[in-house]
């Protein structure tokens, strides 16, 4: 009996030592700090190397934008930001200043980076209305302690639901009509209905120099999505459009403020639909 007990202890001890690297690299979660919505100062904490700072926000019924700043910004990947819901279930995460995605999807290297690690370029994630209490975990993947500030702001929520697109008038000097949109939240789909004349053409684009993993689907044809940059798509009155992201939600700065969703300064994927009279 003693020999069996000694052998069990030896095996457990061996496993502990052999797995010590795993235990050492598992981030320790530091005590949480509350964040007040629309407080320009936010909440600041020092996060140790390979540890995680925990911030809490009691979300209101409004949609929110979460911004995480490094006091001494380094390259993308030094921080990983995760948001859990009130049941502590993962909702979204990012390690890139330009994108965030569902925690069900592994973080991917898009090859797209912010224009240099600057103080006013935060890691940003958006939360839809009525999200409830949120837990924000900021993991420090770097070798040095990081001073991080978390700010939470009420943001605009503009989701299109079968919005009519009529295009330019059938005659006159105006030959095209531009409609702006933005994908702000995980899983968001903007939908439109074309109500103009037959045989007008559609173009789908994003701001110059931008990169958005988004597509436009006409009449449910997912096998032939319209991608940013596609032009001259023939339209028939009654065509239905659906614009959705492909897993990476944009978290950069607005290129324009033409869309109401962009008036708070940060957008998650601007796009434009242009309808032209032949």
Query: pTM score, two decimals?
Result: 0.76
CATH number of 27-154: 2.60.120.380
Q: Is the pLDDT of residue 7 over 60?
A: no
Q: Are the CB atoms for 68 and 148 separated by under 8 Å?
A: yes
The two structure tokens encoding residue 165: 């697109």
Encode pLDDT of 41-75 as tens digits: 999 999 999 999 999 998 778 888 898 999 988 88
Quote the radius of gyration of the chain (alpha carbons, Å).
23
The two structure tokens encoding residue 140: 């420090």
Q: Is the pLDDT of residue 2 over 70?
A: no
Structure confidence at residue 119 (pLDDT): 55
Structure confidence at residue 44 (pLDDT): 95
**Interatomic CA distance for residues 147 and 73, integer angstroms:** 10
Q: Is the pLDDT of residue 24 over 90?
A: no
What's the mean pLDDT in 124-139?
91
DSSP E strand boundaries for 1-141: 28-34, 43-47, 51-58, 64-70, 79-84, 90-96, 99-102, 123-127, 133-140
For Cα atoms 7, 9, 14, give the angle at the middle one, nearest 5 degrees: 95
Structure confidence at residue 184 (pLDDT): 81
264 or 134, which is more confident? 134
Q: Mean pLDDT over all residues of the chain?
A: 80
Give the fold, CATH level 3, of 163-276: Jelly Rolls (2.60.120)
**Cβ contacts of residue 52 below 8 Å, gap of 6+?**
27, 28, 29, 30, 137, 138, 139, 140
Handedness of CA 95, 101, 103, 107 (dihedral sign): negative
End-to-end alpha carbon distance in the chain: 90
Encode pLDDT of 176-218 as tens digits: 999 988 888 888 899 999 999 999 999 998 776 555 567 899 9
Q: Which of 66-70, 121-125, 165-169 has the highest mean pLDDT?
A: 165-169
Structure confidence at residue 118 (pLDDT): 54
Query: Fold identical between 27-154 and 163-276?
Result: yes
Encode pLDDT of 211-269 as tens digits: 556 789 999 999 999 998 999 999 999 999 999 887 677 654 444 544 554 555 555 57
**Least confident segment among 114-118, 219-223, 231-235, 270-274:** 114-118
Structure confidence at residue 48 (pLDDT): 93
The per-residue DSSP string of the chain comes to -HHHHHHHHHHHHHHHHHTHHHHHHSPEEEEEEE--TT-TT-EEEEE-TTEEEEEEEE--SS-EEEEEEESS--STTSEEEEEE-TTS-EEEEEEETTEEEETTS-----S---SS--TT--EEEEE-TT--EEEEEEEE-SSS-EEEEEEEEE------SSEEE--S-SSSS--EEEEEEE--STT-EEEEEE-S-TT-EEEEE--TT----EEEEETT-TTSPBPTT---EE--TT-EEEEEESS-EE-SB-S-S-SGGGTTSB-S-EEEEEEE--
257 or 129, which is more confident? 129
Helix (H, G, I), strand (E, B) or coil at 192: strand
With pLDDT > 90 as the criterion, what percentage of the chain qualifies?
44
Domain extent listing, the chain: 27-154, 163-276
Q: Are the CB atoms for 83 and 150 separated by under 8 Å?
A: no
Residue with tokens 């009509």: 177
């Amino acid at each position: 009996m003693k020999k069996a007990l000694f052998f069990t202890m030896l095996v457990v001890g061996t496993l502990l030592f052999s797995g010590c690297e795993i235990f050492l690299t598992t981030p320790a979660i530091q005590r949480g700090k509350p964040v007040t919505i629309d407080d320009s100062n936010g909440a600041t904490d020092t996060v140790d190397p390979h540890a995680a700072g925990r911030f809490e926000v009691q979300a209101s019924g409004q949609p929110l934008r979460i911004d995480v700043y490094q006091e001494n910004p380094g390259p993308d990947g030094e921080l990983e930001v995760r948001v859990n819901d009130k049941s502590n279930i993962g909702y979204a995460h990012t390690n890139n200043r330009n994108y965030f995605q569902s925690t069900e999807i592994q973080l991917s290297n898009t090859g797209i980076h912010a224009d240099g690690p600057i103080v006013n370029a935060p890691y940003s994630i958006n939360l839809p209305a009525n999200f409830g209490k949120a837990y924000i975990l900021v993991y420090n993947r770097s070798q040095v302690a990081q001073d991080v500030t978390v700010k939470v702001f009420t943001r605009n929520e503009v989701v299109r639901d079968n919005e009519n697109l009529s295009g330019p008038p059938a005659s006159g000097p105006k030959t095209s009509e531009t409609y702006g949109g933005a994908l702000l939240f995980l899983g968001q789909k903007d939908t439109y209905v074309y109500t103009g004349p037959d045989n007008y053409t559609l173009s789908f684009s994003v701001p110059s120099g931008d990169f958005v993993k988004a597509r436009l689907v006409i009449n449910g044809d997912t096998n032939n999505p319209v991608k940013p940059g596609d032009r001259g798509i023939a339209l028939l009155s009654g065509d239905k459009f659906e614009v959705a992201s492909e897993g990476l939600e944009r978290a950069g700065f607005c290129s324009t403020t033409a869309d109401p969703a962009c008036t708070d300064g940060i957008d998650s994927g601007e796009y434009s639909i242009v309808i032209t009279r032949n």
